[in-house]
Every structure is written in structure tokens, then in C-alpha cells.
Structure 1
Amino acid sequence: MANTLPDINIAFKQRAQTFIQRGDNAILILKDDTDKTFESVEYKDLIELEIDKSKYTEENLQYIKDCLESNPNKVIVVRIDTEEEYSDALSTVKNLYNTGWISLVSNAQADYDALIQWIKTRRDVDKKTFKGIVFNPTTQPDCEGIVVLGNSKVTFKDNKRGQKEGYEYLPSLLGYIASAGIDTGTTYMTMKNLKSVLEPVNIDQEIQSGKLILINDENTVKIGLGVNSLTTFTEGKGEDFSLIEVIEATDLIKDDIKNTFKNNYVGKFKNKLDNQILFISAINTYFKNLAARDVLDNAFNNKCYIDIEAQRKAWIESGKTEAKEWAEEEVKGNIFKRDIFLAANIKILSTMTDLDFSITME
């Protein structure tokens, strides 16, 4: 019987079908000594939170409610004692989770600097798709995995709070961004619990510097443009990587492929060309399904393939210098040990943001 990968095809199909509907996890780190019997807890809705309301101070309870208001996939509260450092909570996150949007509530730049460095390490070294939301860090992160809120003041609709410092809106923003997905993105998303915000003098300049700016628009507060802090663009990381919705899509795709490979392929199939081709075919079917759902551009040839040059390089570095002269098919046929070298070329769709409309009068 021919080798097939039915489990992988099914898994990819399921992931593509639920891609748009999946919001991300919101991980909120809070300092609270009210109940020291737990490190972390997950909430799906306000009903679940109501059961645990005695675990938190009134202020922290409101932060969790703010985060839940926009219905992210779930809110994960990571609690530490008031005398502890936020790095202690980040160690808990690292041990329990592989991805999610993370934020905290603090008026200290050093706390946000620590979160930024942690996010960068997780993404660059561990290849984990964590993303963070911070306020007024010491230096701009210049990272696609970090969003910087650029409003110094916000005014809540409820009379109890009124105007607050910008960092006190991070739990709300965390929930909104985590819930967004990529079908509508975050640009012009309405912040339903705000009455108004203090806008910076030059909004466009702040956005271009890598800050997410909330704007007042016809009696509502909206995200002006859903951007992260990336401002240094390269050939491999162009301007599109500064959009939250694009990074959300690339991270989900990476996680889907990695997790499907780990759960349905590793240890189950021999590393030979036929099985690699079957796996590539499954990924390309996944891409087609995403294109059918307007995640990827269906007019573009979204394609996964064997990375010939990476595989050739592996052979050369192992001492097989004759690999320099191998034709492409020969490279493909010479599987390198237990490794699979794949690459892909895809085009992620983003939402409409700009309109250029001319009217000519006769």
C-alpha cells in the first residue's frame, strides 16, 4: 500500500477551516497578594471570572474584566506577589504556553523593557510566537512581535474611572488585539469602553516611528492603524511585517505547520523524498484552503517547496564538497540525514485602509 499522510491532510484542513475564527490567547500579568494560592488561571468569559472575583483586588478585577470585554480566545491571568519581579511571571508563561499576546500594568519603563527583551528572545531563539503590548519603553523595540501604545491619556466611559494614564488601558487593548484575528484586522477597531483619548500632536509621525495610536473619530475611539513597532525593513521583512494582522497570520501559519508536523509526522514516517513530497502536498493544500478563505491571495501561487540551496549547503558543510555541482534533482534525491529543508512563498491579504477617489465634473 502506498505511503499516505491522511492525518496530516485532515489536520491541515481543520486548521484552515478554523483559521479566521481563532482569536489568540490574551496573557495578562498582574501583581496581587489577595490570594497567593495560585500562579495562573484561565477565563473564557465574565461568568467564570465572577466565581473567582474574591481572588483579586478591585483594581485588578477590573483589568481582567477589561481584557475579557472583547472576547479573546481566553484570558490567562498570571499572578505574582507584589514584591516579585515581572520576570518571575514570564518564567511561568514560558513553562506553560507556546504562544499568545502578553501585557502587564505598570508605570515603570524597566518592566516593559524586560517584557520586550523576553518576547524578542522567545521569537528569535525559541521560535515561539509570543507577542507583547507595552507602554513607553526606554527605546523603541523595532520588532514585529511588539506593539507600543502611543497615547499618554485615555478617558473611560464609566464615571468611576474617567481619565487614566495610557498604561492602564493595556489590559483592554490586549483583549481587543488578541480577539481580532485577521478577517477584519485591527485598523479602525472601535475601543468600546473609551469615551476619548489624548492624541499626540503628529499622529502620522508617531505611527511611522512604530507606535499604535488610538484616535478620536466621530464620538468613538478607534485604532488609527493596526501597526506593531517594526520600523527597520529588509528584503526578507518588508513594510507589510509592520501590520498586526499580517504578523498574526504568519504566526498562525507557522504554528499550524509546526504543530501538525510535530503531532502527525515526527517519528511516524521515514525521511525519504516520497514522504517529503507528501508532506509538501499537504501544506500546499492547506495554503489553497487559506486562499479560499481570503487569508492568502488566491491570485498568487502560494507554494511550499524543498529548499534546494539549504539542503545543498548542509551537504557541503558536512564535508561532501561535490554537492556544489549537483543538479537540483540530485540535491532533492539526496536527503540529508533526518532533516527536511522546506521553504514557501505566500501572499497574505490585508484589509483595506486607504482610498484614492477622484471625481471629474464635465
Structure 2
Amino acid sequence: MGLPTIDIIFETKAVSAVKRSEKGVVALILKDDTGAFDTREYKSSTEVLPEDWSERNLDLIKKAFIGNPSKLIVERVDTAAANYNDALNRLKSKLFNYLAVPDESAASDVATWIKGCRKNDSKTYKAVVANHIADDEGVINFATSNIQVEGEAYSAAEYTCRIAGILAGLPYTRSATYYVLPEVEGINEAADPNSEIQAGKLILINDGEKIKIARAVNSLTTTTVEKADEFKKIKILEGMDLIKEDISRTFEDEYIGKVNNSYDNQVLFLTAVNAYLKGLQGEILDPSYNNKVSIDVQSQRLAWEGIGVDVSDLSDQQIKEKSFRSKVFVNGNLKFLDSVEDLKFNISL
């Protein structure tokens, strides 16, 4: 009978995509012995009880809320804990966009955990860590120290909470590049900002009037055919993650186990996906590009050949109609919109 709900779900997701992006979720893991609980969730800073946290951790929670995320998930661990594994395990079953742990010694473990979640569990988690070369698109390496706010000095690790809040609160139409942090009065400025950025570091710069984020890049520096320069941009990766999450979740909720794997049903599903992608054009995808997905004929052909079936005489259309067991093979090309960040202005006299 087809997929009566798929079209409606994807249409709704496309319409709400930018709105949803403006209200991302931040996860924090804080060492604190003030309370005896594991988790607290807050939708605004007014919900945070001062008696639950140390003065410094309370301050960091409020710093995260400045960026206007929709929610904070705060995992507490004892100050004597050897690591953050218990808190990370609790987070694995929760939905959030950006993780921050204001402890530079935890950066390597957090980065490794994020890489594993994105690769093995198909999660779209991202983390802001301090001074750690992760070389991964899911990890933002924040590398500005001695951040001065109202006479207080904050380390890069502590200010990852603020950065995570900023990134979670921005819409897909806005890059964090040149995002101003009005509360910051001074920083240790990078001697060569361009080199820092090229090394995959997110840094703050002082333009003489304002202190702001330099180019909004993640820690990826090693590019491949599969991961080109575009993967270095936080804004573009956000769009990629949105589409991956929307399609995957809808496929799991409305398709897996509920629909026969026939060619007709695959076409219905792909038609709905392409309508969803069209709804993202102008906000996330380039409307001048043919953003479209279809059945991956080559992969489907190889799947049949892999079990010894000779399909060499079949046309591409015949291969499309010859669905393979429970698998749905899809490919396509998308062009994501970047933000305006560079200007070349030639003047002739």
C-alpha cells in the first residue's frame, strides 16, 4: 500500500529543520561533590539550583546557557573519579548535539568516545574539547587560553562549555565564524591565527574592538576523497548531520520491519526523501544544484554478484527492480551552502 506517513513526516522535518537547529542540546560532564545525583536536565538557567553545584560549575552551566540551547543535560561525576566513563555511558542513550567536559586531561578520552559513536553507532554527537589534536570532524579543538571575564580567568577547557552552547544555539543559516563573545574582555592571542586555524583549532581573536570566534572549523585536517575540505566546516557538518539523522530516524521509525523491500516501495521512499531535500534548499542545500538521491545501481549489482548471481546481462533499470534481500542501496549528490566568510575585492585605477 505504499508509505502513507513518510511524505508527511519528511515534509514536516524539512519545514522545521532550521527552527530545530536553533535549539540544539548541550551535554556537560562536571566533576562535583556538592550533590549525590547522576543527571540533571535544564531548559533554562533559572531551573538550576545553586545548592546542587559548586560555585564554579554553576557558573559554567550558566555560561553554556548564554548561547541559548534548548536544553542542557548535565552529568555529574565524583571529583575522585578516575575517569568519565560512567557519565559517557549514560549519555550514549540520550539525544544531544554538543558535549563539553571542562577538564583538559579528559580531552583525548572524550574525542575517542565521540569518534566511536559517530563511526560505530551512527550517532551525530559532536564534542568541544581543549587543546587536543583529534583530526576528526566530530571534534572541535578549542585552543584559546586565559579568557578574561569580569576579572576572572577561564581556561580553554572551562570555556568549552560556552563554545558548546554557542554552537548548539546557532541556526543552520548562521556560521559561528566571527561570532562575538561580548562578555570576554581579554585573551591570550594567537601569534599566527591562520596557522592555528589550518591546524584544525577553533580560536578566539581580538579585532581591536571585539573578541570573537575566528573561522568556525573543527579539528579535521587530513582530507580524503570521502572527506574533502567541506568536512572541516562546523556549519556544513551540521547540515550533513541533520540530514543523516532525519533520514535515518524516519527510516527506522516508519520503514524498517513495516514495509516489504520491493522496488515500488523503494521508489516511494526515495521520492519522499527527495521532497525532503528540496525543502532544505535555500537554507541548508544549494538550490541551484540537483540535490537528489536514487537507488545505488552499482552497489545493488555488486551485492547480487557477491552471492554468485550473474547479473551482467541486466540493464540498470532491471537491477533497480531486482531488490536485494533486506537491503536498500542509495546514493546521491548534495551541495551544502556555506556562509560568506571570505572577500576578494579587486580595484583598478
Q: What interval of TM-score do these two structures reach, taking the shorter chain for normalisation?
A: over 0.9
The correspondence for 1:119, drawn from 114, 123, 133, is 114
Aligned residues: 346
Structure-2 change in CA distance of 1:316 and 1:149 (3 Å)? same
Amino acid in the other structure paired with 2:52: K
The correspondence for 1:253, drawn from 233, 237, 243, is 243
- Following superposition, the deviation at residue 326 of structure 1 comes to 2.8
Amino acid in the other structure paired with 2:212: K
1:337 counterpart residue number: 325
The correspondence for 1:7, drawn from 2, 5, 17, is 5
Amino acid in the other structure paired with 2:234: I
Please give the secondary structure, in 2, of the residue aligned with 1:222. strand
In the alignment, structure 1 residue 45 sits paired with structure 2 residue 53? no
Alpha-carbon distance in structure 2 between the residues aligned to 1:313 and 1:98: 36
1:66 counterpart residue number: 63
2:101 counterpart residue number: 104
Aligned-pair RMSD on alpha carbons?
1.4
In the alignment, structure 1 residue 56 sits paired with structure 2 residue 56? no
2:306 counterpart residue number: 317
**CA contact 2:137–2:232 (8 Å) conserved in 1:** yes
Amino acid in the other structure paired with 1:78: E
TM-score (norm. length: structure 2):
0.96
Please give the secondary structure, in 2, of the residue aligned with 1:26. strand
Please give the secondary structure, in 2, of the residue aligned with 1:323. coil
- Following superposition, the deviation at residue 87 of structure 1 comes to 1.6
Amino acid in the other structure paired with 1:315: W
1:143 counterpart residue number: 136
In the alignment, structure 1 residue 198 sits paired with structure 2 residue 188? yes
**CA contact 1:307–1:343 (8 Å) conserved in 2:** yes
Please give the secondary structure, in 1, of the residue aligned with 2:348. coil
- Following superposition, the deviation at residue 224 of structure 1 comes to 0.6
Alpha-carbon distance in structure 1 between the residues aligned to 2:5 and 2:208: 50
Residues 66-98 of structure 1, C-alpha deviations (whole Å, 9 max, x = no match)? 00111012111011111222122111111x314
Alpha-carbon distance in structure 1 between the residues aligned to 2:284 and 2:348: 35
- Following superposition, the deviation at residue 347 of structure 1 comes to 0.4
Alpha-carbon distance in structure 1 between the residues aligned to 2:204 and 2:135: 19
How high is the sequence identity, in percent, across the aligned residues? 36
Stretches of structure 1 that go unaligned for 5 or more consecutive residues are: none
- Following superposition, the deviation at residue 178 of structure 1 comes to 1.3
Alpha-carbon distance in structure 1 between the residues aligned to 2:288 and 2:69: 31
Amino acid in the other structure paired with 1:112: A
- Following superposition, the deviation at residue 324 of structure 1 comes to 4.2
**CA contact 2:42–2:72 (8 Å) conserved in 1:** yes
Please give the secondary structure, in 1, of the residue aligned with 2:185. strand
**CA contact 1:181–1:248 (8 Å) conserved in 2:** no
Alpha-carbon distance in structure 1 between the residues aligned to 2:76 and 2:317: 55
**1:278-317 counterparts in 2 under 5 A?**
278-291=268-281, 293-317=282-306
2:171 counterpart residue number: 181
Alpha-carbon distance in structure 1 between the residues aligned to 2:308 and 2:76: 51
**CA contact 1:116–1:141 (8 Å) conserved in 2:** yes
**CA contact 1:181–1:245 (8 Å) conserved in 2:** no
Alpha-carbon distance in structure 1 between the residues aligned to 2:232 and 2:2: 39
Alpha-carbon distance in structure 2 between the residues aligned to 1:325 and 1:255: 37
Please give the secondary structure, in 2, of the residue aligned with 1:296. coil
Q: Which runs of 4+ in 1 moved over 3 A?
A: none
Alpha-carbon distance in structure 2 between the residues aligned to 1:135 and 1:48: 28
- Following superposition, the deviation at residue 302 of structure 1 comes to 0.2
Alpha-carbon distance in structure 2 between the residues aligned to 1:43 and 1:271: 42
Alpha-carbon distance in structure 1 between the residues aligned to 2:18 and 2:63: 23
